[in-house]
Structure 1
Amino acid sequence: MASAHNLRVVEPLPPPPDGEVAVRPHAGPSPLYTTLAAVDIGSFGLLGDEHSQLHQRHQMHARLAEACEITRIPWWDCYREDRGDGALIIAPPDVPPDDFLDPFAHHLTAVLRRSNRLASPAARLRLRVAVHAGHVHRDAHGVAGQAVLHLFRLLEAAVFKKALADGSADLGLIVSDRLYDDAVARGGLINPDAYRPLRVSCKETRARAWLWSSVPAPGAAGPTQAW
């Protein structure tokens, strides 16, 4: 079994000779088949000031770590990238992919609701999360591959944003068709009735995916905000 550190640690390239600028290919280890999640903070650009943005970033990472701990996803062994208004999380290969569906979604919804309970409508943290499974490559610059590309196509799909446009959900989760079908076939911890299909069209990507959305937190919907 491959170690999570094989994915998380990226060795630096040696410096080029004096006076020479070069980009050298870096042959990393074989790609790992694992589970990926991409996260985006809703209405981040509308927060208006850097203090509010920094607060929401801190809250996002804290709530993700908390939900992973409750779900028994090893947060500290995951490869993680901060994306400014979001994050990329890649689990160790031995983490069951089904854990990122219903169990993680319910736990993340619960910690978001608790955190948002006393927050003003403007400070309320809402998250979009995309989940996929596939082969992930790493090199000197980070991670790459079709699985990573497809993951962010799901996250940025207009149909996903439109499905959450009324601002009532603390969490929206979009799951790739492959991962959803595999989870249903395994009969794991997934309730198929909680998902509805979406037809994703984003750049060159045309695919079916599945939407899971949290119900509104009592009294916390506030005014409509755009994703």
Structure 2
Amino acid sequence: MSHGDGGKKVAVGVGPTRVSTIRRVVSLWYFVVVVASLGILSPLPFVHAALRLRRAYLLLYVVLYGAWAYGLIYLLAPVDPESEPETVPAVLWFFGTIGLIAVSCVHLAVLRKKILYPPRTVWVESGMHCGLFSIDIAGFGQVGRSSDIFVQVRRMLFGLLANAFEASGIGWDVCLKRDTGDGMIVVVPPHFPKFRLLLPLLSQLAAELAKYNVVTDPALRIRVRVAIHAGEVTLDEYGVTGRPKVLLARLLDSRVLRDALAEAPEACPVVVLVSDRFHEDVQDQGGPGLDTMSYRQVLVREKETEVLAWLHVPTPVIRGLP
């Protein structure tokens, strides 16, 4: 993740681009030049790579490989034109040439891959309307939990959360994420439909957590509160801020959501509170299999905030247990 423009823009890599067969074949000229010239012209592909990747430091390799090639030429140049070529310089030239070709080709293979498959980026800027997802582990700091348990619980939750996002069609790697210690805030880029934050993400997360809780030690069991909202994000050098972020925090910490988790059956490890605006947008947007009727409207009063929201307790469907 990289920041720019004073922290008001964030780019997240989303994987390699597709490259045509023609481009892949044409790019093999790097290796053809090196092999055909017996390494003498090996600096040329590095000049091209430096220009394409806009990396000035690659010009250092132009100098190094150029010096190597010049050294090989020097080995073959006889001191006395009338004398017979010596065996030792010829052997050194042979192995030096093999080494130059091998090393430069391996190096060029790495640079060629960077040129052909540059990481694409999705920009999230201040003012973009993004989905906001916040999750918190209930009772994370309870007495009796060691630091090792904290690590195991966090690792398990974040792994299951990543799988749930991917299963819902939201690339985990393209989301902006902020660790909160006992949970996480996830900012979803605006090109993903909002309903994917609900379906099948929530049911997938609930099912996987329920399955995990059945087979794990009681001290490692996980129950979570989730808040979901959407709005125009504001980015600064510390991350995400603005009114949507504040409302998300109020929903997550609300007494309504805490009571809902306490009253939910032990087999239900997830309770969700969705903002009224998000719920309305998703109803208008629709989505295959989306059931907004399973959400109950509640009133949230937290600090200076008094808003309507929608409470949902996903019923986990556990598969794969013996």
The TM tier, using the shorter chain, reads: 0.7 to 0.9
Is contact 2:206-2:316 (8 Å) kept? no
Question: Which residue of 2 is the match for residue 37 of structure 1?
Answer: 133
Which of the pair has more CA radius of gyration?
A: 2
1:145 maps to which of 242, 263, 283: 242
The one-letter amino acid of 1:171's match is V
2:282 is equivalent to residue 183 of structure 1: yes
Matches within 5 A, 1:69-108: 69-108=166-205
2:145 is equivalent to residue 48 of structure 1: yes
Question: Which residue of 1 is the match for residue 24 of structure 2?
Answer: none
Question: Which residue of 1 is the match for residue 293 of structure 2?
Answer: 193
Question: Which residue of 1 is the match for residue 270 of structure 2?
Answer: 171
Q: Unaligned 5+ residue runs, structure 2?
A: 10-124
Cα deviation, residue 11, structure 1: 4.1
Cα distance change, pair 193–27 in 1 and its aligned pair in 2 (3 A): closer
Cα deviation, residue 9, structure 1: 3.1
SS state of the match for residue 230, structure 2? strand
Question: Which residue of 2 is the match for residue 156 of structure 1?
Answer: 253
Is contact 2:226-2:270 (8 Å) kept? yes
> What is the Cα-based RMSD across aligned positions, in Å?
2.0
Answer 1 or 2: which has greater helix percent.
Answer: 2
SS state of the match for residue 31, structure 1? coil
Aligned residue pair count: 199
Question: Which residue of 2 is the match for residue 10 of structure 1?
Answer: 3
Cα deviation, residue 192, structure 1: 2.2
Question: Which residue of 2 is the match for residue 210 of structure 1?
Answer: 310
Q: Distance in 2 between matches of 1:45 and 1:173?
A: 21
Instruction: After superposing the two structures, state which structure 1 stretch, 58-67 or 47-56, moved more.
Output: 47-56
Cα deviation, residue 121, structure 1: 2.6
Is contact 2:162-2:172 (8 Å) kept? yes
Is contact 1:196-1:210 (8 Å) kept? yes
SS state of the match for residue 227, structure 2? strand
Cα distance change, pair 123–116 in 1 and its aligned pair in 2 (3 A): same
Cα distance change, pair 27–186 in 1 and its aligned pair in 2 (3 A): closer
Cα deviation, residue 12, structure 1: 9.3
The one-letter amino acid of 1:177's match is D
The C-alpha deviation readout for 1:65-91, integer Å capped at 9, x for no partner, is 011111111100100011100001001
Q: Distance in 2 between matches of 1:83 and 1:141?
A: 13
Question: Which residue of 2 is the match for residue 223 of structure 1?
Answer: none
Q: Distance in 1 between matches of 2:285 and 2:174?
A: 25
Q: Distance in 1 between matches of 2:233 and 2:314?
A: 29
Q: TM-score, normalised by structure 2?
A: 0.58
Higher relative contact order (CA 8 A, sep 6+): 1
Q: Alignment identity in percent? A: 34
Q: Unaligned 5+ residue runs, structure 1?
A: 1-7, 14-25, 219-227
Q: TM-score, normalised by structure 1?
A: 0.81
Question: Which residue of 1 is the match for residue 154 of structure 2?
Answer: 57
